Copies of this chain bind each other. A is one copy, B any other.
Amino acid sequence: MNAGVEWALHSCLNLTWIEPGETVTATKLAAFYDLPAAYLNKQLQALAKAGILASTSGPRGGFRLARRPEDITLLDVVTAIEGREEAFRCNEILRQGPGGRADVDYRAACLISQAMSGAELAWRKELAGRTIADLKAAVEVAFPSTPESTRHHLANV
């Protein structure tokens, strides 16, 4: 998994704390963690393409969340950055084995493939069961000064 997932999750979370109607530039989001702005911008564009962020142009342009934090799961963010492909890719090697058939979809028929997909499903379910709003709430309990500090550092002045 590329480092962009970590950056994207933190950026989405930070954007929950800006003032309504505000946006933040890629440069500012990158400076927050001293990240390379051009590469972070690529992740932010991917999040925008997935409908997680909205971007506006112009002198006060930048990024904001495109939907409520309750409606953005961790899986949404991971998928926006990494794509939908499973980590275990079944290459259907059974087809080349004894008795292998051209007309069978071994991604479905192979019990090894099924077991690996089952594990991946468990991973996806965990990520789909957590939202940016859950993270926001947990951070606000554990680190009460974070919202104000983040808002201050990202303020588009």
Contact = CB atoms under 8 A, between A and B. Distances in A.
A74 interface: yes
A96 B30 CA distance: 11
Given A111-B135, A135-B111, A6 B93 contact: yes
Interface in A112-150: 112-113, 115-116, 118-120, 122-127, 130, 135, 138-139, 142, 149-150
Interface stretch (A32-40, A55-63, A64-72): A32-40
A1 B35 CA distance: 27
Contact of A10 (B112, B123, B126, B149): B112
A102 interface: no
Interface of A: 1, 3, 5-7, 9-10, 13, 32-35, 74, 87-91, 93-94, 96-99, 111-113, 115-116, 118-120, 122-127, 130, 135, 138-139, 142, 149-150, 153
